[in-house]
A and B are shown apart, each in its own frame.
Chain A
Amino acid sequence: MADMIANLALGFGVALSLKALMLCFLGCLIGTLIGVLPGIGPVATIAMLLPVTFGIDPVGALIMLAGIYYGAQYGGSTTAIIANIPGEVTSVVTTLDGHRMASQGRAGVALGIAAISSFVAGTIATLFIAALGAPLTRFALLFGPADYFSLMVFGLMFAVVLARGSLAKAVAMIFTGILFSTVGTDLETGQARLTFGVAEIYDGIEFAVIAMGIFGFAEILRTIEQRETRVVQDAPIGRLLPDLSDLKMSSGPILRGTFIGGFLGLLPGNGALLGPFASYATEKRLSKEPARFGHGAIEGVAGPEAANNAGAQTSFLPLLTLGIPPNAVMALMVGAMTIHGIVPGPQIVSKQPALFWGMVASMWIGNLMLLVINLPLVGLWIRLIRAPYRLLFPAIVLFCCIGIYSIDNSAAEVGMVAIFGFFGYVLMKLEFEPAPLVLGFVLGRLLEEKFRQSLLISRGALETFVSHSISATLLALTAILIVISLVPSINKARNKVFVE
Chain B
Amino acid sequence: MTATDDTAGAGRKSRIKAPIEFFGGLFLLGLAALGFYGAIDLPGGELSRMGPGMMPRIASAAIAIFGAALIAESFITEGNAPERWHWRGIVFVFGGVLVFSLTIRDFGLAVAGPLSVIISAFGDRETRLVEIIPFAVIMTIGGALLFKWLLGLPIPLMPYLLGY
B127 at the interface (CB under 8 A from A): yes
Cβ distance B61 to chain A, nearest Cβ, rounded Å: 9
Partner of A411, one of B101, B117, B124: B101
A417 at the interface (CB under 8 A from B): yes
A288 at the interface (CB under 8 A from B): no
Which of B38, B86, B90, B93 has the most chain A CB within a 10 Å cutoff? B93
Q: Which residue of B lies closest to A414 (CB)?
A: B101
A224 at the interface (CB under 8 A from B): yes
Contact of B93 with A217 in the complex, beta carbons under 8 Å: yes
B94 at the interface (CB under 8 A from A): yes
Q: A366 to B59: give the CA distance in the assembly, Å.
A: 40
Contact of B152 with A417 in the complex, beta carbons under 8 Å: no
Contact of A430 with B27 in the complex, beta carbons under 8 Å: yes
B105 at the interface (CB under 8 A from A): yes
A225 at the interface (CB under 8 A from B): yes
Contacts of B82 in A (CB 8 A): 429-431
Contact with B along A376-405 (1 / 0, CB 8 A): 000000000000111101110111111001
Q: A411 to B102: give the CA distance in the assembly, Å.
A: 7
Contacts of A393 in B (CB 8 A): 93, 120-121, 123-124
Partner of A221, one of B63, B86, B121, B140: B86
* Stretch from A12-20, A112-120, A182-190, A235-243 that touches the partner: A182-190
Cβ distance B110 to chain A, nearest Cβ, rounded Å: 13
Contact of B94 with A175 in the complex, beta carbons under 8 Å: no
Q: A409 to B20: give the CA distance in the assembly, Å.
A: 39
Partner of B52, one of A172, A188, A227, A432: A188
Cβ distance A487 to chain B, nearest Cβ, rounded Å: 19
Contact of A194 with B139 in the complex, beta carbons under 8 Å: no
Q: A49 to B109: give the CA distance in the assembly, Å.
A: 18
Contacts of A51 in B (CB 8 A): 147, 151, 153
Contact of A224 with B86 in the complex, beta carbons under 8 Å: yes
A415 at the interface (CB under 8 A from B): yes
Q: Which residue of A lies closest to B51 (CB)?
A: A189
Contact of B93 with A193 in the complex, beta carbons under 8 Å: no
Q: A261 to B54: give the CA distance in the assembly, Å.
A: 38
Contact of B101 with A452 in the complex, beta carbons under 8 Å: no
Cβ distance A222 to chain B, nearest Cβ, rounded Å: 9
Partner of B89, one of A225, A412, A456: A225
Cβ distance A442 to chain B, nearest Cβ, rounded Å: 14
Sorting the interface of chain B by its residue count into under 10, 10 to 19, 20 to 34 or 35 or more gives 35 or more
Q: Which residue of B lies closest to A52 (CB)?
A: B151
A426 at the interface (CB under 8 A from B): yes
Contacts of A179 in B (CB 8 A): 31, 35, 56, 59-60, 63
Q: A225 to B98: give the CA distance in the assembly, Å.
A: 21
Contacts of A351 in B (CB 8 A): none
Contacts of B158 in A (CB 8 A): none
A418 at the interface (CB under 8 A from B): yes
Contact of A456 with B93 in the complex, beta carbons under 8 Å: no
Contacts of A455 in B (CB 8 A): 47-48, 50
Q: A209 to B155: give the CA distance in the assembly, Å.
A: 18
Contact of B102 with A55 in the complex, beta carbons under 8 Å: no
A102 at the interface (CB under 8 A from B): no
Contacts of B50 in A (CB 8 A): 451-452, 455-456
Partner of B63, one of A175, A196, A418, A422: A175
Contact of A217 with B94 in the complex, beta carbons under 8 Å: yes
A460 at the interface (CB under 8 A from B): yes
A139 at the interface (CB under 8 A from B): no
Contact of A398 with B90 in the complex, beta carbons under 8 Å: no
Q: A422 to B120: give the CA distance in the assembly, Å.
A: 14
Q: A230 to B129: give the CA distance in the assembly, Å.
A: 23
Partner of B116, one of A227, A401, A411: A401
B24 at the interface (CB under 8 A from A): yes
Q: A157 to B21: give the CA distance in the assembly, Å.
A: 22
Contact with B along A220-250 (1 / 0, CB 8 A): 1100110100000000000000000000000
Contacts of B73 in A (CB 8 A): 168
Contact of B94 with A422 in the complex, beta carbons under 8 Å: yes
Contacts of A395 in B (CB 8 A): 117, 135, 139
Q: A171 to B70: give the CA distance in the assembly, Å.
A: 12
Q: Which residue of A lies closest to B153 (CB)?
A: A406
A344 at the interface (CB under 8 A from B): no
Given known A193-B52, A227-B124, contact A398–B66 (CB-CB < 8 A): no
Given known A179-B31, A194-B38, A395-B117, contact A225–B86 (CB-CB < 8 A): yes
Cβ distance B145 to chain A, nearest Cβ, rounded Å: 12
23 of the cross-chain contacts (CB-CB < 8 Å) are A51-B147, A55-B152, A168-B70, A176-B31, A179-B35, A186-B52, A193-B56, A196-B38, A221-B90, A221-B93, A224-B124, A391-B132, A395-B135, A395-B139, A397-B116, A398-B113, A401-B101, A401-B104, A411-B105, A413-B101, A414-B101, A417-B97, A430-B24
